[in-house]
């Protein structure tokens, strides 16, 4: 028998860029919402802030570029056209069905 308990969960519904003030939501501004940067960490031993302090920041993608751009290492996608074609053929697709035994050729009990 299962027992359940009530639980309240909070999710971020909006985010405001701490640099430019742009307000982003997953509904109204999806492009900005999924490209924002929100680092969030606790200071460790002898940080430039203070031991154990909580540090956080929310930046839209334009402010990330404008503020951190000279130091960012931005790599292009591995495929020339930015598609997922580089993965094509990475997973074989046999014509015949494959059994579980064929997918897992070793027996874990034999190792004991």
Q: Is residue 63 part of a domain?
A: yes
Taking residues 106-110, report their average pLDDT: 51
Nearest to 74 by CA among 87, 61, 58: 61
Is 53 within 8 Å of 42 (Cβ atoms)? yes
- Domain of 37, in residue numbers: 15-72+79-106
Of residues 94 and 2, more confidence is placed in 2
Residues ≥6 apart with Cβ < 8 Å to 53? 42, 43, 47
Total structural domains in the chain? 1
Q: Is residue 5 part of a domain?
A: no
Q: Tell me the per-residue pLDDT of 18-77, one tens digit each, with 9 for 90 and over.
A: 999 999 999 988 889 999 999 998 887 777 877 888 999 999 999 999 999 889 888 877
Confidence check: pLDDT of 111 > 50: no
Is 73 within 8 Å of 49 (Cβ atoms)? no
If DSSP states are collapsed to H, E and C, what string results for 18-43? CCCCCEECCCCCHHHHHHCECCEEEC
Q: Is residue 50 part of a domain?
A: yes
Q: Is residue 9 part of a domain?
A: no
- Burial of 18 per CB tally in 10 Å (0-12, 13-18, 19+): middle
Q: Is residue 86 part of a domain?
A: yes
Predicted local distance difference test score (pLDDT) of residue 30: 86
55 bridge partner residues? 41
Neighbours of 111 (CB within 10 A): 6
């Amino acid at each position: 028998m299962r027992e359940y308990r009530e639980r309240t969960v909070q999710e971020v519904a909006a985010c405001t860029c701490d640099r430019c003030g742009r307000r982003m939501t997953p509904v109204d501004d999806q492009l900005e919402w999924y490209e924002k940067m929100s680092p969030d960490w606790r200071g460790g031993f002898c940080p430039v802030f203070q031991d154990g302090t909580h540090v956080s920041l929310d930046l839209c993608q334009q402010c990330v570029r404008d503020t951190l751009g000279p130091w960012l290492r931005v790599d292009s996608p591995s495929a020339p056209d930015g598609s997922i074609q580089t993965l094509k053929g990475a997973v074989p697709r046999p014509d015949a069905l494959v059994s579980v035994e064929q997918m897992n050729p070793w027996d874990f009990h034999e190792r004991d």
